Amino acid sequence: MTYRTVSVSVAVAVVALTAIDAFIVYKLQEPGRFIGHVVLRLFCFGIASLAAGLAAQRYHWWDEYVGRAWTLLFILYALITVREAINRLAPEAGAAGEALVIAGNVAAVGAFWLFGRVLHSAGLEFYGSRMLKIGVFLVAVAIACALVLPTIISSLTDAMPGIRRASSLASAAADMITFILVAPLLLTVWSFRGGQLSWIYGFLALSTIGWMINQAANDLLPAPIIRDGQMFGFILACASVTAAGYSQIASSRRGAAHA
């Protein structure tokens, strides 16, 4: 399967799953709607965590630099998969779910920090002028602040239990950092445009953009389609991580075949 085929597959999957949620699951009566929504979300989280885990395994988990990044990404998606199941199926165990959110967000920051520094770790520099690099980072910072600061303020001012507040703040802080770290991902895509790494990092950047859409939907979309916008962003994020994991494994196999 070529990288372009993977891209088309991601687009088809995102459109199809979003349509299934909007036009089938959302139209069901309870408890069918609840069950369908849970199954769809767990499916998306599950395939993303599986792809990240297989990519980490391909690079011997913690033994190699890229393997560490994929291991942390696997931990993130595995933990939020479990958290999703707890929140939906055992809401009385909410504290455990919030603890998983905190741990998962720490893993998320570590994963995208490692991905963002892959060129530096290889002794290479981002392609482009200094002004281009600064501009990309400033745009990323501005978008991250616009999307996340309202959540941080809300978490600080709203009355909520301690663990819930800690979880909300940890999630918001992690979102802020990972949204900013989309800048080095995009610069890596630009530096290796046309090559295998550009596709892998393009999918990783697209996954972050998916979470940005998920975050922004509540503030930017009209009420009737907020759910659809959030699900679109969520599904895009999970599908893109899955595609990135597959592409990383495929790239490794191609490299081994030519060694």
Are 250 and 197 in contact by the 8 Å Cβ rule? The answer is: no
61: left (phi over 0), alpha (psi -120 to 50) or beta: left
The percent of residues above 90 in pLDDT, for the chain, comes to 40
Query: What are the structure tokens assigned to 8, written together?
Result: 């088309």
Structure tokens at 213: 């859409």
**Which one, of 213, 201, 210, lies nearest residue 237 by Cα?**
210
Give the pLDDT confidence of 115-169 residue by residue, as tens digits: 888 767 665 566 667 888 889 889 999 998 988 888 888 777 776 666 777 878 8
Ranked by mean pLDDT, which of 114-118, 185-189, 228-232 comes out on top?
228-232
**What single letter denotes the amino acid at residue 56?**
A
What does the pLDDT look like over 86-124, one tens digit per residue?
Answer: 888 877 776 777 888 888 889 999 999 998 887 676 655
Name the residue ranges covered by the structural domains of the chain: 3-253
Q: Which amino acid is at 232?
A: F
